[in-house]
Chain A
Amino acid sequence: MRIISLKAIYVIVLREFKRFFRQRGRLMGTVARPLLWLLIIGSGFTELIRVRGEISYQQFMVPGVIGMTILFSSIFSTISVVWDKEFGFLREMLVAPVSRLTIVLGKLISGSMLSTFQGMILIVLAPFFGISLSLFKFTEMVFLLLIVSFGITSLGLFIASFLTSLEGFNVIMNFLVLPMFFLSGALYPIKVLPSLLQYLTSINPLTYGIDSFKHVMLGDIPGTVLGTDFSFSMDIAFVLAFSVIMTILTSLSFERRD
């Protein structure tokens, strides 16, 4: 008996894609929210914050806003698990002769692919904010988007496995997602934070994700205020390790039977 059924993963992914593209509002929101951040907050702060000899604040924000998009869309995609629970569809999957890992992987892959897709839209728009990427760097970014999305989706899925109502999900959004965003180095360099907050950023997977985006999009400029905080390999190692641990925990959590 196989542990993973590829056919089942395929059809779970297919379903999530169909649902995503049938909900027009979701796609619009995906593009609109990060653009609002970049255009309004980005241009406002660019005038306030000028670090001599460095990139503009708006340029600094681009990797952060891409990270924000990944964060919101990855967590939001895992809402489908809660949704499926509340509307019964999850049972259709749970009584099928496939392993829990298969279902978890299906949800993980669909969630990360959809997030990656949304992140890619922003990379395509990045030249308007003063960041142009070569084809090589673009490919590198797509790869990074995939692993960061995978990591965040696995976290979301782990949390969603414990929730039974959409109300509970909203609480998580406020108490986890927003702090994760604010403590990720998306809006300000983490070096300027007080040490307690710096500690919190250092256990946030999104911090490493955004740092890796900065490496590719802004170049390796350690030591400068708006530059990167960790080494590129450190970023990738943290995100990958986090993803693997979360995926295992999530499958175990789905395996529980009351």
Chain B
Amino acid sequence: MIRVEGLVKKYNSITAVDGIDFNVEKGSFFGFLGPNGAGKTTTIGILCTLLKPTYGSAFVNGFNCYKEPKKVRSSIGLVFQEYTLDNELTAYENLMFHCYLYGMRKSTAVKRIDEILSVVELNDRKDDIVKKFSGGMKRRLEIARGLLHRPQVLFLDEPTLGLDPQTRIHIWDFINRLRMGENITVFLTTHYMDEAEGCDSVAIIDKGSIISFGSPDELKKELKGDTIYLKTADDSKARTVIQERFGITVNTIDTGLAIQVEGGEKFLPHLFNGFPVEIVSVNLKRPSLNDVFVSLTGREIREDGPGDTRVRRGGR
């Protein structure tokens, strides 16, 4: 559904995207992960025909993003990072504007707006001026708008940026429900690792290059397995026993022992079988995508902390 080949985008001397390739299957949920400034929004800009690639090419729904912009535009729906609603108009007027812009008949438009408003639960607010809406309501309205013309691909560029955690969960409820309802390809960019856990496939981008690609599970398997946190009656004895029996390194940490092991759930029964020390507690931690990012780049993905609510205002 989306195909990107050797894509490079330079702004004067700055290389925003540095030769990326990837494919997104029809109907799948694709996550494009990376820190701010990694090149995610630039890639979306090229895919949605607003930017011109410096080298390489991008295809959406079989159409070349640079050479056949109109066909690409008919195939896609977009929810931008920043709000792109008209604050002076009502929710209904914003949606109607979209329908007419996409050349729909009035009768079709009325029907679809009605349907989509009930999906995003904004039916009773449809005649209110958008200015009065909260951030979460605006986002829901934008997602609704992005789906009105029944696109093949829905781009969600940081859809929950700047929203509080509760609203984020709410928005994700909607996105997941919509995905159930329509067979639509979703292209998500985010720097919230947890949001990408539900994706079918994920590309991790850093400094303009894709450093890893695969399903979240595959990516995590590349990490050297899971971590088992163990607390026993006699930690030093337990440590010696484990190292002798399995020949693996055991780290002593504040709360007990930490063991790095591949396939943690299969290892646990072996560990417990005839273990000579009394076990107080055990905790198996699966690696998160954040661990994947840390192991690949040596940095946390979000260096700016969780309170980052900046909304970047794009030029063109």
Contacts and interface: CB of A to CB of B under 8 A. Distances in A.
A164 interface: yes
Nearest to B48: A95
Nearest to B87: A87
Chain A contact-residue range equals: 20 to 34
Contact of A8 (B70, B78, B103): B103
A88 B101 contact: no
A164 to B, nearest CB: 5
Contacts of A87: 83-84, 87
B82 A5 contact: no
A47 interface: no
A88 B88 contact: no
A141 to B, nearest CB: 31
Contact of B100 (A1, A8, A94): A8
B76 A95 contact: yes
A97 B76 CA distance: 10
Given A91-B314, A92-B84, A97-B74, A257 B50 contact: yes
B278 interface: no
B16 to A, nearest CB: 11
Contact of B103 (A5, A164, A257): A5
Contacts of B103: 5, 7-8, 97-98
Contact of B80 (A12, A19, A86, A91): A91
A89 interface: yes
- If over half of B's interface residues share one DSSP class (helix, strand or loop), that class is named, otherwise mixed; here it is loop
Given A5-B103, A88-B80, A257-B51, A15 B86 contact: yes
Nearest to B100: A11
A18 B84 contact: no
A24 interface: no
A98 B315 contact: no
B81 to A, nearest CB: 9
A186 B17 CA distance: 53
Nearest to A102: B101
A10 B97 CA distance: 10
B163 interface: no
A147 B49 CA distance: 34
- If over half of A's interface residues share one DSSP class (helix, strand or loop), that class is named, otherwise mixed; here it is helix
B48 A85 contact: no
Interface string B41-83: 0000000111110000000000000000011011010101011
Contact of B70 (A15, A97, A256, A257): A97
Nearest to B53: A257
Given A19-B88, A88-B313, A95 B100 contact: no
Nearest to B77: A95
A258 B100 contact: no
Given A11-B96, A95-B48, A88 B316 contact: no
Nearest to A100: B69
A222 B42 CA distance: 60
B98 interface: yes
B104 to A, nearest CB: 8
Interface in B195-253: none
B314 A88 contact: yes
Contacts of A256: 316
A95 B49 contact: yes
A65 to B, nearest CB: 29
A91 B51 contact: no
A176 to B, nearest CB: 22
Contacts of A92: 84-85, 98, 101, 145
B89 interface: yes
Interface string B140-153: 00000100000000
A85 B316 contact: yes
B88 A258 contact: no
Contacts of B145: 92
25 contacts: A1-B70, A7-B100, A8-B101, A11-B100, A12-B101, A15-B86, A15-B89, A15-B93, A15-B97, A18-B88, A22-B88, A85-B315, A88-B84, A91-B50, A91-B84, A92-B85, A92-B98, A95-B49, A95-B78, A96-B101, A97-B71, A97-B103, A98-B101, A164-B315, A257-B316
Given A19-B89, A88-B80, A91-B78, 5 more contacts: A7-B101, A11-B96, A18-B88, A88-B83, A96-B73
Interface of B: 11, 48-52, 70-71, 73-74, 76, 78, 80, 82-89, 93, 96-98, 100-103, 145, 313-316
Interface of A: 1, 5, 7-8, 10-12, 14-15, 18-19, 22-23, 85-99, 164, 256-258
Q: Which 8 A-B pairs have the closest CB atoms?
A: A11-B100, A88-B84, A97-B73, A97-B74, A257-B52, A96-B101, A88-B82, A92-B84
